[in-house]
Amino acid sequence: MNMMIRACGRKLDIANGRVDLSHGAGGRAMGDLIEVIFHKAFDNDWLRAGNDQSAFSVPGGRMVITTDGYVVSPLFFPGGNIGTLAIHGTINDISMAGAVPLYLSASFIIEEGFPLSDLERIADSMGAASREAGVPIITGDTKVVERGKADGVFISTAGVGQVPDGLDLRADAARPGDAVIVSGSIGDHGIAVMSKRENLEFDTAIVSDSAALHGLVAAMVETGGRHIRLMRDPTRGGIAATLNEIASQSKVGFRIDEEAIPLKPEVAAACEFLGLDPLNVANEGKLVAVVAPKGADALLAAMRAHPLGREAALIGHVVADGNCFVQMATSFGGGRIIDWLSGEQLPRIC
């Protein structure tokens, strides 16, 4: 269902109204909803054209495509909301290939009874995030499900991007001796979300790090693209999961230095009283890069020169290890494994 169904002039009571089943039924009410909320928020030539799809020309070379669903609870948290997350997350997935994000799609599954004011707030912040990133939302879809069949709103975004010539980042490309760089402090997003969770609310100055990383990535590619083996954004499962994924895909091990990992004192304190390991806590505006040893210094400098990489740090190295263990030298002086998280540490963080 395309978003561009002509509105028929009925006013939506955004301040007090709620989404009802008619808003997903394909009739006038749906047209109103799309026009007044989504069209206004995402406005661009593609949407204005009113087709069931959007056409664009493809530059030469390699393209990437990605899709992601967003079900975070609560929907609004310090530093962002489900909408900004849906824009940043998909842009970041494209960026981790070193690619330049070009276009996005957005699909909404809305629960009957969801306040229109909240929907507008989410859509407006998505529009702002997409404009700020320079990546337009060019097609979309809206569905409404009965009360109890969803949790407020779920959003899916997909994106396409273009990979610069000569760049080929792969999950299996890490080699012993490579340097591991993280772009900034870890765990901010997970703790920000946790601080607003029902029954667990605590006061904190921590805000989500949710951000689009394609600018930082472009700076890295420009400085030393050929030295970058691979990049990942450590979202769910934190850097522990990311490093373990890379280890098993590249069939290598890691040696990480606990003291080198950037961690805000507030996040460390929150993890302490919640019993969480910051290595397992989600990030939404950070990346982990595995880079060839000789490119590490220049890349680190390029990252630190970018606003989203100021606290970038070299946290360890790739080692040969048939067991694919991610090992860490603790600041206490011992050694331990960093493992995948078993089960769930935090429910629904993105």
Partner 1 sequence: MKYIDEYRDGTLAKDIARQIATVADPARSYHFMEFCGGHTHAISRYGLEDLLPANVRMIHGPGCPVCVLPIGRIDAAIALAMRPEITLCTYGDLMRVPGSNGSSLLKAKAAGADIRMVYSTLDALWIAEAEPDREAVFFAIGFETTTPPTALALKAAIAKGLGNFSVFCNHVLTPVAIQNILESPDVRKLGTIKIDGFIGPAHVSTVIGTEPYKFFAEEFRKPVVVAGFEPLDVIQAILMLLQQVNDGRHEVENQYIRAVTTFGNERARAEVANFFELRESFEWRGLGEVPYGALRLRPQYAAYDAEKRFAMVTPAAKDNPACECGAILRGVKKPADCKLFGTVCTPDTPIGSCMVSAEGACAAHWTYGRFREKARQVDAGRAVA
Shorter beta-carbon distance to partner 1: residue 126 or 328: 328
168 lies in the site for partner 1, by CB under 8 A: no
Q: Which is nearer to partner 1, 55 or 205 (CB)?
A: 205
Residue 2 or 248 having the CB closest to partner 1: 248
3-class SS of residue 316 = strand
Nearest to 284 by CA among 325, 242, 315: 242
On whether the CB atoms of residues 296 and 182 are closer than 8 A, the answer is no
Min dist CB 327 to partner 1, Å, is 6
If binding is defined by CB under 8 A, does position 325 make contact with partner 1?
yes
| Residue 202 contacts partner 1 per CB under 8 A | no
The answer to whether 52 contacts partner 1 (rule: CB under 8 A) is no
- Taking the CA atoms of the chain, what radius of gyration do you get in angstroms? 21
Among 268, 292, 314, 319, binds partner 1 (CB under 8 A): 268
Angle at CA 23, nearest 5°, toward 19 and 25? Answer: 145
Q: Which residues contact 312 (CB under 8 A, 6 or more apart)?
A: 181, 182, 183, 184, 300, 303, 304
- Token code pair at residue 217: 């990535």
β-pairing, 313-319 vs 335-337, is unpaired
Per-residue x/- mask for partner 1, residues 212 to 251, rule CB under 8 A? ----------------------------------------
272 binds partner 1 (CB under 8 A): yes
Q: What b-and-e string marks burial along 83-122, b requiring 16 or more CB atoms within 10 Å of the CB?
A: bbbbbbbbbbbbbbbbbbbbbbbbbbbbbbebebebbbbb
Q: Which of 13, 165, 199, 203 binds partner 1 (CB under 8 A)?
A: 199
Considering the complex, what minimum distance in angstroms separates the CB of residue 38 from partner 1? 35
Q: 268 vs 298, which CB is nearer to partner 1?
A: 268
Under rule CB under 8 A, how many of the chain's residues touch partner 1? 22
Which residue, 225, 239, 243, 237, is CA-closest to 291?
225
Cβ proximity of 282 and 341 under 8 Å: no
In the complex, the smallest distance separating the C-beta of residue 140 from partner 1, rounded to whole angstroms, is 32
Binding mask 330-349 for partner 1 (x = CB under 8 A): xxxxxxxx-xx-xx------
Residue 323 touching partner 1 (CB under 8 A): yes
Asked if 320 touches partner 1 (CB under 8 A), the answer is no
Kindly state whether residue 257 participates in binding partner 1, applying the rule CB under 8 A. Answer: no
How many angstroms separate the CA atoms of 220 and 129, rounded?
A: 22
Q: CB of residue 277 vs partner 1: minimum separation in angstroms?
A: 8
Which backbone phi and psi does 342 adopt, to 5 degrees?
-100, 135
Q: Is 22 in the site for partner 1 (CB under 8 A)?
A: no
Do residues 231 and 288 make contact, with C-beta atoms less than 8 angstroms apart?
yes
Shortest Cβ 275–partner 1 spacing (Å):
8
Identity of the residue, 28 or 348, whose beta carbon is nearer to partner 1 in the bound complex = 348
- Identify the residue among 9, 60, 265, 307 touching partner 1 (CB under 8 A): 265
Q: Between 168 and 257, whose beta carbon lies closer to partner 1? A: 257
Residues 127-166 that bind partner 1 (CB under 8 A): none
Nearest in space to 255 (alpha carbons), one of 186, 330, 309 = 330
DSSP 126-171: HHHHHHHHT--EEEEEEEEE-TTSSSSEEEEEEEEEEPPTT----T
Q: Which stretch binds partner 1 (CB under 8 A): 56-64, 224-232, 308-316, 322-330?
A: 322-330
What does the binding site for partner 1 look like in residue numbers (CB under 8 A)? 199-200, 265, 268-269, 272, 323, 325, 327, 329-337, 339-340, 342-343
